[in-house]
Each structure stands twice: as C-alpha cells, then as structure tokens.
Structure 1
Amino acid sequence: RLNGKVERSHGTDQREFYQLLTYKDNVDLNAKLAEWEAFYNYHRPHGRLGGKTPYERLVEKMR
C-alpha cells in the first residue's frame, strides 16, 4: 500500500521537477530540491488528498 504512494510520488517528481530541471552545480541542485520539496508539501494541491496539500492534511490529522 505504501509502495504505490511512493511510486506515485516518484512519478510526480520525475514529471514536474526532474524533467524540467537545469542546474549549475550541486549547491544549485540542492537549493532547487529544497524549493521543490517546500512547494510539493506546502503549496501543491494533491488529488488524492481532496485538493489539499500534505501539510494541510497533516494539520487536520493532528487535531
């Protein structure tokens, strides 16, 4: 069950990040990865979460 979620996440990373990625060096790559992670978790709506971000879903679960 978790494996499917991880595979879906990897597919999204590939389509929406890695295929569009250009970088100068490892420092630039790490900065872009951090930006992508923040966007993915805090700003990008997820269909499987009812259009909520992972962070919004986490906050709901913690209440």
Structure 2
Amino acid sequence: MMTERELSRRARHRLATLRHVEEVSGSVAATCRYYGISRQCYYIWLRRYEAEGLERLKDRSSAPHHTPHATKADVVEKIL
C-alpha cells in the first residue's frame, strides 16, 4: 500500500511533466521522450489536471467498475 506522501510525489511528478512543456521544451513530443511517457498519457494527465487540479493527477484504481461475469459470492463461499 502506498502512503499519501508517495501518492503526492507521483502527482507532483506528473504536474512537473505538464509544466515542462510550457516552461522548458515547448514541445509535447520532446517532453514525452524526455520523461519516457506516451503522448496519449500526457494528454490524459493534462485533461485530468485541467478538470480538477492536482487531486486528479493522483493514481487511480484500475479495477473495473462492473464485472458481469464474476463468480457469484455463494459459489466462492462453497469453494473456500
């Protein structure tokens, strides 16, 4: 489990990546090469940051919202 401090560190790193384009390189492609990320990733971070600020740059769960084919709870119980 990651601490709040580590989560904030990742969010600040993502913000630094976004600022690098404006303040240093002026090029999204060059910044993405420098930081080793895809342009698609950069633009996802940018949309999130523009929508709700630093809070949206924190890691998010990759778990699906809905799992229609998940094993039913009573079946799992019997197996365990």
Q: TM-score category by the smaller chain?
A: 0.3 to 0.5
Question: Computing the radius of gyration over CA atoms, which structure comes out larger, 1 or 2?
Answer: 2
Higher helix share: 1
The structure whose RCO (Cα within 8 Å, separation 6+) is larger is 2
Q: What TM-score comes out, normalization by structure 1 length? A: 0.39
Q: What TM-score comes out, normalization by structure 2 length? A: 0.32
